[in-house]
Amino acid sequence: MASLVSSPASPSISFPSSNPCSDRLHHRFLQTSRRHVIRCGIPDSLRFDNGSVPPSMPVINDSMLPGIYPGVRGLQGGIGRQNSRLRIFSGTANPALSQEIANYLGLELGKIKIKRFADGEIYVQLQESVRGCDVFLVQPTCPPANENLMELLIMIDACRRASAKNITAVIPYFGYARADRKTQGRESIAAKLVANLITEAGAHRVLACDLHSGQSMGYFDIPVDHVYGQPVILDYLASKMICSDDLVVVSPDVGGVARARAFAKKLSDAPLAIVDKRRQGHNLTEVMNLIGDVKGKVAVMVDDMIDTAGTIAKGAALLHQEGAREVYACSTHAVFSPPAIERLSSGLFQEVIITNTIPLHEQKSFPQLTVLSVANLLGETIWRVHDDCSVSSIFQ
């Protein structure tokens, strides 16, 4: 089973100031006097007491991690369903994450009816009024991508026809994001097509988490709030108290160097290594080269998603050959297409750290797997968008 850490409910709740945009980020992360302990460079950390946990896959909570958000936002800020125009609706792709987000905001999920006819067509009906409301639809376009995407489009259309004031598509995992450019002739750019579909369906805004490439935001003709899952993983790594002198951050390919560099800066400006793989010619095996020193160090491999785990598993094998003491794999999106589970559980990794942007079933669990929750991060972002507050300040 994946790592499971339980936390008792907080016995009391402290009330913040009435200004929702006031600075709540008042606890510096890991104020420790130990000079050589890894430090996280983000100003604060995230809580993981997100209410009910999906029954199929345990999600780590905040029993070992300090937090920037003191308790449940809804209970502290006086947000209540009876006096708020904020509405949260969930699709069928990841209802557990949607429930956690609603718990953080102190709201109930909106009532919605979603069913499929015998021929596979999707039917959506809102079971409550959203006229004049600020509506957020939580639906990752994870596998089955086409089903979940079509469901999201129909949900958007239902809200538009119900006279919602603002419709925000909350997409924790944006499918088709890898098809963001033409690498050879006569290819489609599916990421742009999907962006057009969401816009034309009637969405006024998109909230996405860790897009595969930043240029995907430019494909939308509506505002896009790009949320990074990096702080959640950084908090967890920092709680492990790895000696900063032993740490090295590794990019599994050249294309992820910018992501790994930003991650390394947050971890006490850790050194960076890069796995460079290249094919010498057609029908020839790939040649793997390592740029950087990992001998005797704890290597942290960082990527935005793990699909079949081929790239990250080959990179981990190379790191062990070069003398790495331990290898950790960190990724926001766990697509886990076969044979990912076999590769990740083969003993190459000390721990595989992911988030719950994509729901994981119990059969995809293995002993080295740890699942972190991004519900509070998304919940805080939703509230700031609703209340016209800064989103970028969360990551500064």
pLDDT of residue 153: 98
pLDDT of residue 84: 77
Is residue 285's pLDDT more than 80? no
| pLDDT tens column, 153-197 | 999 999 999 999 999 999 999 999 999 989 889 999 999 999 999
Q: Which of 39-43, 252-256, 339-343, 352-356 has the lowest mean pLDDT?
A: 39-43
| pLDDT tens column, 110-129 | 999 999 999 999 999 999 99
pLDDT of residue 279: 65
| pLDDT tens column, 18-34 | 444 444 433 333 333 33
Cis peptide before 55 (omega within 30 of 0): no
- How far is it, in rounded angstroms, from Cα 356 to Cα 371? 6
* Rg, C-alpha atoms of the chain: 21
Rounded mean pLDDT of the chain? 83
| pLDDT tens column, 294-339 | 999 999 999 999 999 999 999 999 999 999 999 999 999 999 999 9
